[in-house]
Amino acid sequence: MDSSSLTCKKLTVIAVLAVLIQVFGLALFVLGFFPVKPALSGFSGVESFYPPGADSAEFQNTTNLSDSQLKYLYQSALLPLKVMVFNLVKLQELSLVPPLFDRLILMVIDGLPAEFVLGKDGEPPPKPFQETMPYTQSLLSKGRAIGYHAKAAPPTVTMPRLKAMVSGAVGGFLDVAFNFNTQALLDDNIIVQFLKVGWKLVMHGDDTWLKLFPGMFSRHDGVSSFFVKDTVQVDQNVSRHLVDELSRADWSLLILHYLGLDHVGHLGGRSSVLMAPKLREMDEVIKMIDLNSLPTNNNDQGRTLLVCASISSARVV
């Protein structure tokens, strides 16, 4: 009886230890494979700038010089580095370097493979893809556009790719779960920096932008990225704003996020019969933006820079 009881106790202890070891191993796997990266609070500004190798303690105090004194020092090239740490608005007003472009358009074509536009391994894109995007190919061949192939680390779902695009943050596999419940981005990012310098932002397309940057867009029309069977209306909801937005002068950054091509890829792959028409549609959008952005006598909106990017296994700019 005692021997049987002792054996049961041993088995119970062994079973408990086995469960604890399994839980510990599972915890190590989860923390290693899905690391939680803490967000850095706050956003950088001119007060964050210090000369290379300088002691930050020497540059904690901001200047008390008047605007006229700052302007004199700035124009006389006598402005020391410590005086450069002052109000950002003053820095903008005193800057004598005009911007190359007055406005920025970020056009995101979700799911566009890089080889469709730039080719692969030094080879040009296959002829069928060149024929579906003739205007884009002409911009590249004439040197009016620059192609850049940036390899993106997995996961390549929308939310971590957008975070990487605007903040430089490296996504993790835990972001795949967060992609279904996107929260506001708390890290320093270029969208917040645009707002800090007075830019007005407009967004049409994937509503992930609205979840990452709530309240930051003066106008927006978001569409859901989870209705994969929709390959038509999801893009028409973006393009219907193009003519109106290109004629306006009240924005500095226009974001257009097209989802149709990605949905075509999910439904039928790269060989889908819907792929070629969708590529032609995107090419026409690029053509419309480019032609409406050219400096002419009738265009008083200034010079516009178009950045065309893709969220796929890589990004095309």
Write out pLDDT tens, residues 5-43. 568 888 888 899 999 999 999 988 877 777 666 666 677
- Give the HSE-up count for residue 38: Cα atoms under 13 Å, Cβ half-sphere: 3
Fold (topology level) of 103-316: Alkaline Phosphatase, subunit A (3.40.720)
Burial class of residue 299 in the structure, from the number of CB atoms within 10 Å of its CB (0-12 exposed, 13-18 middle, 19+ buried): middle
User: Can you give the pLDDT at residue 88?
Assistant: 46
The answer to whether the bond into 99 is cis (omega within 30° of 0) is no
Distance CA 236, CA 285 (A): 11
Residue 297 burial (C-beta neighbours within 10 Å; 0-12, 13-18, 19+): exposed
Angle ∠(31,35,37) on CA atoms, nearest 5? 140
DSSP string, 174-189: HHHHHTTS-----S--
What percentage of the chain has pLDDT greater than the value 90?
33
Please tell me the predicted confidence (pLDDT) of residue 182: 66
Residue 74 pLDDT greater than 80, yes or no? no
**pLDDT for res 121:** 81
End-to-end C-alpha distance for the chain, whole angstroms = 78
Residue ranges of domains in the chain: 46-94, 103-316
pLDDT band at 120 (very low <50, low <70, confident <90, very high): confident
pLDDT at 297: 39
Mean pLDDT (the chain) is 78
pLDDT score at 157:
77
pTM for the full predicted model:
0.73
How far apart are alpha carbons 281 and 311 in whole angstroms?
A: 17
The per-residue pLDDT for range 154-208, each reduced to its tens digit, is 666 788 888 888 888 776 666 665 655 667 888 888 999 898 888 999 999 999 9
Query: What pLDDT, on the 0 to 100 scale, is given for residue 271?
Result: 86
More confident residue, 294 or 268: 268
Say yes or no to pLDDT of 82 above 50: no
pLDDT cut 70: percent of the chain above it: 68
Q: Is the pLDDT of residue 115 over 80?
A: yes
pLDDT the model gives residue 253: 94
Does the pLDDT value for residue 84 go beyond 50?
no
pLDDT tens per residue across span 232-270: 999 999 999 999 999 998 999 999 999 999 999 989 888
